[in-house]
Structures are given as structure tokens and as C-alpha cells.
């Protein structure tokens, strides 16, 4: 799969999971210790993110899904 498509899919998936928990980009970003603008960039697939960035997001999403 093309990088661009993959990054967009990842972004969409994050957006889906986040939306299902009714949390704003702002809030999720805060939990991850970065700004909402960065979260927007990631969800839009406009950055080729690193494992560590995805890991931060994954951990915080997971946390939300525990409750």
C-alpha cells in the first residue's frame, strides 16, 4: 500500500476511535502531551509519524477504552 494511503488510514482509524469515546483532539492531544494542531496533522495523514508518536496515541486511546 502507498504511504500516503496508509497514513490516511491510520489517521482515520485514530479519529474513529477517538470519536467513539467522544473526546476532542484537544483533549487526546493533551493526554499525549502535545498540541491539538499536531493531532490534527496526524489524523489528516499529513505527517509520516514515528512509532513513538503512534504509541503515545495508542496508549491513551487504550486507556479510554478501559472504562
Q: How is residue 2 annotated by DSSP? A: -
Query: Is 51 a residue that touches its own copies (CB under 8 A)?
Result: yes
CB-side exposure of 34: number of CA atoms within 13 Å? Answer: 13
Q: Which does 40 bind (CB under 5 to 8 A by kind): DNA, its own copies, none?
A: DNA
Residue among 67, 63, 8, 9 at smallest CA distance from 32: 63
Residues engaged in binding its own copies (CB under 8 A):
1, 3, 6-7, 10, 48-52, 54-55, 59
Residues engaged in binding DNA (CB under 7 A):
19, 24-27, 33-38, 40-44, 46-50, 52-53
Amino acid at each position: 500500500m502507498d504511504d500516503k494511503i496508509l497514513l490516511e488510514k491510520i489517521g482515520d482509524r485514530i479519529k474513529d476511535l477517538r470519536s467513539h469515546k467522544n473526546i476532542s483532539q484537544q483533549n487526546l492531544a493533551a493526554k499525549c502531551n502535545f498540541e491539538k494542531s499536531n493531532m490534527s496533522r496526524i489524523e489528516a495523514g499529513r505527517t509520516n509519524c514515528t512509532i513513538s508518536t503512534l504509541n503515545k496515541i495508542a496508549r491513551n486511546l487504550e486507556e479510554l477504552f478501559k472504562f
